[in-house]
Structure 1
Amino acid sequence: MRDPDFDRYRASREHQRRAHRLIPGGAHTYARGDDQMPEWMPVVIERGDGAHVWDVDGNRYIEYGQGLRAVTLGHAEPRVTEAAREWLDRGAGFSRPASVELEAAETFLDLIGADCVKFCKDGSSATTAAVKLARSATGRDVVAVCSDQPFISQDDWFIGTTPLDAGIPQSVKDLTVQFPYGDVSALEGVLDEHRPACVVMEAVRDASDPTDYVLDCIAACRSRGVVFVLDEMITGFRWSARGAQGLYGLDPDLSTFGKAVGNGHSVSALAGRRELMELGGFDTDRDRVFLLSATHGAETHSLAAAIAAMRISDLEDAPAQMMRQGARLRAGVERAVCDAGLEGVVGTAGRDSNLVFYTRGPDGDASQDYRTLFLQELTRRGVLAPSFVITTAHTDAVVDETVQAVAGALEVYGRALEAGSVEGLLLGRPVQPVFRKRAGTVWTSVTRPGGDGAALALPRPKSAHPS
């Protein structure tokens, strides 16, 4: 029997086929890869507005995890868009600094409270610049990172700690050491044994209050002359308008921001104490650090968008709005799970403004097969949800519609659990972890599920069962 929704994604699959011939992985961000979505519904976005996106086939979705957590005010927020447009009409970049650069720095520092800031385009650049400053200031080479943090930078010093370490010299890998989150004594052991230049970590790994732990980490670093770098890529402008450091009263030596700084526009930031930051400037007698310098590092329209987004976040308390709507979503999902009799099998985790969900199989363990089935059934019902990360644009009505979709997806999920397998319900291969050693895919002709024998060219794991 042919699946009635299969043809809804025809244009997206054609885009996918062409993209894989020209773009390694088919996308410019691994988290947006086709291996992160159900196989026959890759979903290529055409436009977004608020909490919704439309794909190239014309399907509308409620979207969560907007822009990989980069959007907090909803897609194409009019005031942010207008601020960017005004500078686009005046010019995107010049051979000298633009006036918007100082305005952006003043706006950012007034919120965060650091001494200096340097803007760039992506989080990896900001965090790697922090590492470079720390190495210069301390004369040490080793970097310590939290082993519970899944991603800090695409650069060698961090990616060498993941399974995706091909092309990175062992000598570079050896310069990064790890410690577990939540155990100060374990960090102290790493500090004493390796004497690193810096510690790089997020403040939060779950929904609990991390204040005492992170303060102890900062104190352990300060007593040993180690630079403490706070990664605010996710927490910045989502935990509070002043980041996790403002919410929990932290005083990092350096901090790095990205994602939500510009509500999806490409802006990231390195901020910190003057005595460290000035090593990348002119006011120093020491050897200068080539810190951050990029042709497009201070695009006028992106900085203007960031100014508008930061001011809106502060004046309207966007993080509090996201907490409120996330709590509504969490409660609704919990009701739907309870009604389906799936407590402990499907559920939410994390801070209400930054919710993720878990999916377990019949054995009670986390399951990629069942996660894919859940994603498939949510997508079928008009909800695009790699996570349940919310924005201020997710109104009560949007959240309630999401809960209805979750209830429908759980009905299918329950049938799969009763059968002990997703076979016959999941169409195609399961989603895959981004950080895996081998791609495990080949280009092959795949017959459409339940269809008329027409072939599609899709990337497919060698071990996947036929659809």
Structure 2
Amino acid sequence: MRRHFARSTEIQGRLHELVPGGAHTYSRGADQYPEGMAPILVRGNGCHVWDCDGNDYVEYGMGLRSVTLGHGYRPVVEAAARAVADGLSFSRPTELELRAAEDFLDLVPGADMVKFAKNGSDATTAAVRLARAVTGRESVAICDQPFFSVDDWFIGTTEMNAGIPPALSTTRFRYNDLDSLAAVLGSGDIACVVMEAATALAEPEPGYLEGVRALCDRYGSLLVFDEMITGFRWSSGGAQRVYGVTPDLSCWGKAMGNGFPLSALAGRREYMELGGLRTERDRVFLLSTTHGPETGSLAAFRAVVRAYADTDPIARMERAGRRLADGVNKIAADLGIAEHLQVAGRPSCLIFTTRDAGGRPSQAFRTLFLQELLDRGVLGQSFVTSAAHTDADIDHTVDACAEAADVYRSAVDRGGVAGLLRGRPVAPALRRTAAPRSLDPARQG
């Protein structure tokens, strides 16, 4: 049953010598996987991936939620290849930039203009900068949601805040709590409210988003929706189309290119024009990127738009997610561990929750579950599906979860993972110290 990861472990060790953390994204780090079981991948097709040791997996998470159509989706790859064959980057705009902007704005309600970039943090930070210029205010209100940017205004509010000046003007409010937001906005110094309209585990209560919109209007703060995850996973027009509430600005990325690097800032013309040449006000340095308009990603995006119009990938993601959640939750219920192991969330954006014998959220039990899934050919820190997940893939995953859940039940009965977990538990990606997964021998433990 056990898989071997000798080559992956060797390459991971070399990566740690050359790349801080051994990965270019903290959530991709080896400390997010069971020790000695962090696969180094070499290729993917659909929802399947293969590592350098020859192991194959059904993958979930799909490029940190950036792949919705499947790895190597031919129409997207071919569109990008055709564009790149005629040149990747130029010293003037291309017609492709116009066509991509037209496609994007046809999808997004209430957005008049768009500017493309390469990563989500660039887009969210540009939105904050623009809101500060529009309002003449400095402070930012962020919802109590996991992640918005690698830049100081957000990372300074997390545990991993070394190197960031202490004088931050960012404050938090609670989701689905209008009184919490009103109290923050009452200071009169909030330039913008930054939030996800919904998350995997949190849907807006009736009237909540409308209330947020009204509070922003009352206090003169811009409303910014982070559509990094909801865009092209809730709908091709994002959460704003699903819930019918239009922000002043919105920030996009991840699935808009089916894995190709592309992000976007979109919004109302009166605000976006401050970054252009049709304003009498002082200009905002909005977004200026060498690679934002490269042809491959813009062509990929246009192919994604066509795929969403023709093939309804969201319906396929949601169907796969419902079958998976129902199957795994039934297994847990039949084993009497439904309160310890559960699949939850929107069907297109599922997570699994892991609790110990006492019912407390547990990284150790999470690691045990990941370990057992990896041994059975399932790779994923979540159960985020794609349109490429077939019934056979879901059946394989449910079968793997049934065997993993048996081991999980043993750990619950024992009161812990001792004797079952091979190595140290995973740790939060954003934490103050390398411990408890430090690679310094003197600090391991």
Fold shared by both chains (TM-score > 0.5)? yes
Q: Does 1:155 align with 2:137?
A: no
Q: Does 1:254 align with 2:249?
A: yes
Q: Encode CA deviations 1:169-196: one digit per residue, 9 max, x unaligned.
A: 012x2x1011111110110110012520
444 and 155 in structure 1: CA distance in 2 versus 1, 3 angstrom threshold: closer
- Give the aligned partner of residue 271 of structure 1: 266
Q: Does 1:44 align with 2:40?
A: yes
101 and 67 in structure 1: CA distance in 2 versus 1, 3 angstrom threshold: same
- Give the aligned partner of residue 313 of structure 1: 308
Partner letter of residue 400 of structure 2?
A: A
Partner letter of residue 142 of structure 1?
A: S
Aligned-partner Cα distance in 2 for 1:216–1:431 = 39
Q: CA RMSD in A?
A: 1.3
405 and 363 in structure 1: CA distance in 2 versus 1, 3 angstrom threshold: same
Partner letter of residue 181 of structure 1?
A: Y
8 Å Cα contact 1:211/1:248 also seen in 2: no
SS at match of 2:114: strand
* Per-residue deviation, 1:210: 4.2
Partner letter of residue 371 of structure 2?
A: Q
Q: Across the two proteins, how many residue pairs are aligned to each other?
A: 442
Partner letter of residue 394 of structure 1?
A: H
SS at match of 1:61: strand
* Per-residue deviation, 1:211: 5.3
Q: Does 1:411 align with 2:393?
A: no
Partner letter of residue 115 of structure 2?
A: K
- Give the aligned partner of residue 186 of structure 2: 192
The one of 90, 114, 122 aligned to 2:86 = 90
Aligned-partner Cα distance in 1 for 2:55–2:14 = 20
Aligned-partner Cα distance in 2 for 1:134–1:321 = 37
Aligned-partner Cα distance in 2 for 1:228–1:263 = 27
Which shifted more, 186-195 or 80-89?
Answer: 186-195
Aligned-partner Cα distance in 2 for 1:20–1:282 = 46
The one of 112, 122, 130 aligned to 1:125 = 122
Q: Encode CA deviations 1:213-256: one digit per residue, 9 max, x unaligned.
A: 01110110011110000111110010011110111111100000
SS at match of 2:187: helix
* Per-residue deviation, 1:416: 1.3
The one of 240, 255, 260 aligned to 2:235 = 240
Q: Report matched runs for 1:358-397 at 5 Å.
A: 358-397=353-392
Q: Does 1:180 align with 2:174?
A: yes
Aligned-partner Cα distance in 1 for 2:178–2:443 = 41
8 Å Cα contact 2:235/2:241 also seen in 1: yes
Tell me the percent identity.
Answer: 54
- Give the aligned partner of residue 21 of structure 1: 17
SS at match of 1:393: coil
Partner letter of residue 123 of structure 2?
A: A
**Could you tell me the TM-score, scaled by structure 2's length?**
0.97
Q: Does 1:462 align with 2:444?
A: yes
The one of 423, 430, 434 aligned to 1:435 = 430
8 Å Cα contact 2:141/2:193 also seen in 1: yes
Q: Encode CA deviations 1:131-150: one digit per residue, 9 max, x unaligned.
A: 01100000000000012x11
Q: Does 1:77 align with 2:87?
A: no
List alignment gaps of at least 5 residues for structure 1.
446-459
Q: Does 1:292 align with 2:287?
A: yes
Aligned-partner Cα distance in 2 for 1:215–1:319 = 25
SS at match of 1:177: strand
SS at match of 2:43: strand
Aligned-partner Cα distance in 2 for 1:391–1:211 = 28
- Give the aligned partner of residue 455 of structure 1: none
- Give the aligned partner of residue 111 of structure 1: 107
Aligned-partner Cα distance in 1 for 2:370–2:410 = 15
Aligned-partner Cα distance in 1 for 2:133–2:440 = 50
Partner letter of residue 75 of structure 2?
A: R
Aligned-partner Cα distance in 2 for 1:261–1:358 = 28
8 Å Cα contact 2:176/2:204 also seen in 1: no
* Per-residue deviation, 1:422: 0.8
Aligned-partner Cα distance in 2 for 1:130–1:211 = 27
Partner letter of residue 433 of structure 2?
A: R
**Could you tell me the TM-score, scaled by structure 1's length?**
0.93
Aligned-partner Cα distance in 1 for 2:226–2:301 = 18
8 Å Cα contact 1:429/1:461 also seen in 2: no
8 Å Cα contact 1:340/1:414 also seen in 2: yes
67 and 461 in structure 1: CA distance in 2 versus 1, 3 angstrom threshold: farther
Partner letter of residue 139 of structure 1?
A: G
Partner letter of residue 106 of structure 1?
A: E
8 Å Cα contact 2:26/2:430 also seen in 1: no
SS at match of 1:109: helix
Q: Does 1:11 align with 2:7?
A: yes
Which shifted more, 354-363 or 435-444?
Answer: 435-444
* Per-residue deviation, 1:342: 1.2
Aligned-partner Cα distance in 2 for 1:121–1:354 = 23
- Give the aligned partner of residue 195 of structure 2: 201
SS at match of 2:186: helix
* Per-residue deviation, 1:391: 0.4
Partner letter of residue 41 of structure 1?
A: M
The one of 43, 63, 70 aligned to 1:67 = 63
Partner letter of residue 165 of structure 1?
A: N
List alignment gaps of at least 5 residues for structure 2.
none
Q: Does 1:283 align with 2:289?
A: no
Q: Does 1:168 align with 2:150?
A: no
* Per-residue deviation, 1:442: 4.0
